[in-house]
């Protein structure tokens, strides 16, 4: 990683700080000062009519908008952005009114290919994790094995990293279009660098947004064939990475049932919360259980977890690791999601989350809605 850190140091000397925004996890970016945490768990629907959009995902306001499997959430501090993995589009949503429009994507998708273009002429295969850095939205194009970049002002889309070939466990770190990824699923930023989580290899990659130079920060590449292992850099092991966020100077990376804290400078990974077995249990970090983690985000004081396996939104104290359930009745709802407070609220398939303006936004994937928890 010597070459990358040298280039980073040069960039920092030449610039006056980064332009980070909120991403899949929201991190500390775009949220203002850390809050004292959500307390009521009151859950409402911001946008989405609950009907899969297919190739006809429609713009609109609130429940007149239509999504086809919303997955990723990000913010630039004003707008919220949503990636649709099945609709193959990036949408822009007003976080107050729910007014929804399409920023980029033709909705068609092509097998293992993704085409650059502007607005509706750009093509995605399967957009999942997203994050804002400066004036651009970065998109993990999962099925295309690429990292895409969308100009927030124009919708112009290009490919700063990824050759489109499915990387092996021995993928080589390199620059831009010659770098290889294996199913990038989650993105995050510390305001300077782009972090990319690969699902099946269990690697966390670090990308220089200015050059596309890509290196491996943590993960041995064995992925799903192992238990999660503490370690530094390539000696750390993740069974299958599902979500990632940045909070309080650290990356938090989740497998299906466990969460690790990762040092973004050294790649040192240590256990943070979650029993290795799937299930449901609140309590101390070491004994808390999750069914299937699909999203992580933070307000700087707490870590919020989209626990799709339990159809609940959980909250973890970043200092003590104490875990509670914030919202969700634990029963996935067939073709619907019900508003309510705490355990009276229903989620069908909570995916990525985003903490923004003292609210928690959740992409309720299969229910085709964006939910808000207060």
Would you put residue 171 in left (φ > 0), alpha (ψ -120 to 50) or beta? Answer: beta
pLDDT, tens digit (0-9, with 9 covering 90-100), for 71-95: 999 999 999 999 999 999 999 999 9
Q: Is residue 69 part of a domain?
A: yes
Q: Which domain does 332 fall in, by range?
A: 2-11+21-373
**What CATH number is attached to the domain comprising 29?**
2.120.10.30
16 belongs to a structural domain:
no
Domain assignment of residue 237, yes or no: yes
The pLDDT tens digits for 256-283 are 999 999 999 999 999 999 988 999 999 9
Alpha helices in the chain (DSSP H): 2-14
Cα–Cα separations (whole angstroms), residue 306 to 8, 254, 263, 303, 362: 33, 11, 22, 10, 8
Q: C-alpha angle 336/127/102, rounded to 5°?
A: 75
Q: Is residue 278 part of a domain?
A: yes
* pLDDT number for residue 25: 66
- For residue range 315-328, what is the model confidence (pLDDT) as tens digits? 999 999 999 999 99
| 291 neighbors 276 (Cβ within 8 angstroms) | no
Domain count, the chain: 1
60-61/70-75 β-pairing: unpaired
């Amino acid at each position: 990683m010597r070459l990358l850190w040298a280039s980073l140091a040069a960039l920092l000397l030449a610039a006056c700080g980064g332009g980070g925004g909120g991403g899949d996890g929201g991190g500390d970016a775009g949220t203002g000062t850390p809050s004292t945490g959500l307390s009521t768990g009151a859950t409402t629907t911001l946008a989405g009519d609950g009907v899969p959009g297919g190739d006809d995902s429609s713009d609109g306001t609130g429940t007149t908008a239509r999504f086809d499997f919303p997955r990723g959430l990000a913010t630039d501090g004003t707008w919220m952005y949503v990636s649709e993995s099945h609709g193959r589009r990036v949408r822009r949503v007003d976080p107050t009114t729910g007014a929804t429009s399409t920023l980029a994507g033709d909705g068609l998708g092509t097998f293992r290919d993704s085409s650059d273009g502007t607005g509706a002429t750009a093509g995605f295969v399967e957009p999942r994790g997203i994050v804002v850095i400066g004036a651009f939205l970065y998109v993990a194009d999962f099925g295309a094995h690429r990292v895409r970049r969308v100009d927030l002002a124009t919708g112009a889309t290009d490919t700063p990293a990824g050759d489109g070939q499915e990387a092996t466990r021995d993928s080589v770190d390199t620059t831009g279009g010659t770098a290889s990824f294996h199913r990038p699923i989650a993105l995050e930023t510390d305001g300077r660098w782009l972090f990319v989580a690969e699902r099946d290899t269990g690697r966390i990659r670090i990308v220089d947004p200015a050059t596309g130079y890509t290196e491996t920060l943590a993960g041995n590449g064995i992925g799903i064939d192992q238990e999660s292992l503490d370690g530094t850099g390539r000696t750390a092991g993740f069974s299958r990475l599902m979500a990632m966020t940045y909070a309080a100077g650290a990356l938090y990376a989740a497998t299906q049932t466990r969460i690790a804290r990762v040092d973004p400078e050294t790649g040192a990974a240590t256990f943070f919360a979650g029993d290795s077995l799937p299930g449901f249990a609140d309590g101390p970090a070491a004994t808390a259980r999750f069914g299937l983690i699909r999203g992580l985000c933070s307000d700087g004081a707490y870590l919020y977890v989209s626990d799709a396996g339990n159809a609940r939104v959980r909250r973890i104290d970043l200092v003590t690791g104490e875990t509670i359930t914030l919202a969700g009745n634990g029963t996935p709802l067939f073709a619907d999601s019900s508003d309510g407070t705490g355990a009276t609220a229903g989620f069908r398939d909570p995916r990525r989350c985003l903490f923004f303006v003292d609210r928690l936004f959740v992409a309720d994937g299969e229910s085709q809605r964006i939910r808000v928890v207060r």
